[in-house]
């Protein structure tokens, strides 16, 4: 089945070049030239991948990324002339799946597009097949019964600890900031109080990790947030 990509780029020459190349590669392409248009099209239509520029009019790429991540797990590949480690960290920390810096070769772009779609398709099928029971390393997470087993031993988690673990387990390799965790788990606005997140993460690690000081499951990305290591 032909994969449908939303290409968001305000530079017409780059947009047309990428669109034509990916069409030759067998993809169906819909384009947007600014952030507002991208958000609207993404909400109106189902896509398999979004290729997103950062520097755009009306809404920049990072704002678009925030909005889409609140509503969808759509794979997002950032395509930008900004190539510093900080820019990459911010983009990935907000939920982007990959980052390619301009200028780039069409071969590299195509390879990253295919890899992002392949990862999303594979993970989606795995979750669908095991949506009630997730196995990650030595952990078995029973979504329906709100229970966790660690190497065949029951682990007693609070409701918030279980919700945090479930969030990471169903979004493997995605980076979550503390703000995102708070908003998704507590369903409230985040005002910068890191203590509540730190305490819950510490208690969760004490229960699921063999060595909480050297966690193997939920990793800290300093200055960005957390992500679950894939197994």
pLDDT digits (tens, 9 = 90+) for 36-45: 999 999 888 8
Q: What is the mean pLDDT of residues 134-153?
A: 88
In this prediction, residue 87 carries a pLDDT of 63
In this prediction, residue 23 carries a pLDDT of 95
Q: What confidence category does residue 123 fall into, taking pLDDT thresholds of 50, 70 and 90?
A: low
Please, are residues 46 and 26 in contact by the beta-carbon 8 Å criterion?
Answer: no
In this prediction, residue 122 carries a pLDDT of 60
In this prediction, residue 152 carries a pLDDT of 86
pLDDT digits (tens, 9 = 90+) for 178-207: 888 888 888 776 766 678 888 899 999 999
Say whether pLDDT at 130 is over 60. Answer: no
* Domain shared by 88 and 161, yes or no: no
Q: What confidence category does residue 210 fall into, taking pLDDT thresholds of 50, 70 and 90?
A: very high
In this prediction, residue 230 carries a pLDDT of 66
Tell me the residue range of the domain where 210 lies. 130-228
* Domain shared by 48 and 162, yes or no: no
* Domain shared by 198 and 122, yes or no: no
CATH of the domain at 215: 1.10.10.10
Q: What is the mean pLDDT of residues 46-63?
A: 89
* Domain shared by 157 and 137, yes or no: yes
Please, are residues 141 and 167 in contact by the beta-carbon 8 Å criterion?
Answer: no
* Domain shared by 23 and 93, yes or no: yes
Q: Which of 104, 128, 152 is the last residue of a domain?
A: 128
Q: What confidence category does residue 34 fall into, taking pLDDT thresholds of 50, 70 and 90?
A: very high
Exposed, middle or buried by CB within 10 Å (0-12, 13-18, 19+), for 144?
Answer: exposed
Distance between CA 143 and CA 146 in Å, rounded? 5
Q: What is the average pLDDT score of the chain?
A: 85
CATH of the domain at 42: 3.40.50.2300
* Domain shared by 134 and 89, yes or no: no
Q: What is the mean pLDDT of residues 63-83?
A: 82
Please, are residues 65 and 92 in contact by the beta-carbon 8 Å criterion?
Answer: no
Distance between CA 14 and CA 162 in Å, rounded? 45
Q: What confidence category does residue 83 fall into, taking pLDDT thresholds of 50, 70 and 90?
A: low
Say whether pLDDT at 127 is over 70. Answer: no
In this prediction, residue 27 carries a pLDDT of 95
* Domain shared by 44 and 9, yes or no: yes
Please, are residues 223 and 89 in contact by the beta-carbon 8 Å criterion?
Answer: yes
Q: Which residue has the higher pLDDT, 25 or 179?
A: 25
Number of domains into which the chain is organized: 2
What does pTM read for this prediction?
0.56
* Domain shared by 193 and 172, yes or no: yes
């Amino acid at each position: 089945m032909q994969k449908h990509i939303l290409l968001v780029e305000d530079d017409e020459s780059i947009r047309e070049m990428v669109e034509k190349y990916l069409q030759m590669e067998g993809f169906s392409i819909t384009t947007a030239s600014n952030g507002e248009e991208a958000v609207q099209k993404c909400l109106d239509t189902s896509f398999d991948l979004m290729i997103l520029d950062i520097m755009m009019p009306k809404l920049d790429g990072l704002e678009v990324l925030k909005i889409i991540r609140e509503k969808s797990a759509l794979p997002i590949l950032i395509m930008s002339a900004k190539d510093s480690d900080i820019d990459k960290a911010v983009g990935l920390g907000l939920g982007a799946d990959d980052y390619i810096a301009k200028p780039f070769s069409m071969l590299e772009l195509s390879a990253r597009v295919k890899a992002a779609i392949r990862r999303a398709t594979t993970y989606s099928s795995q979750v669908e097949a095991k949506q009630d029971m997730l196995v990650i390393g030595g952990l078995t997470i029973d979504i329906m019964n709100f229970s966790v087993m660690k190497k065949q031993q029951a682990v007693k988690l609070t409701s918030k600890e279980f919700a945090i673990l479930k969030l990471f387990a169903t979004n493997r390799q995605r980076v979550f900031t503390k703000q995102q965790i708070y908003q998704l788990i507590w369903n409230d606005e985040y005002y910068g109080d890191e203590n509540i997140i730190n305490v819950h993460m510490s208690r969760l690690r004490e229960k699921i990790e063999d060595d909480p000081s050297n966690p193997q499951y939920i990793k800290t990305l300093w200055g960005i947030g957390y992500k679950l290591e894939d197994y």
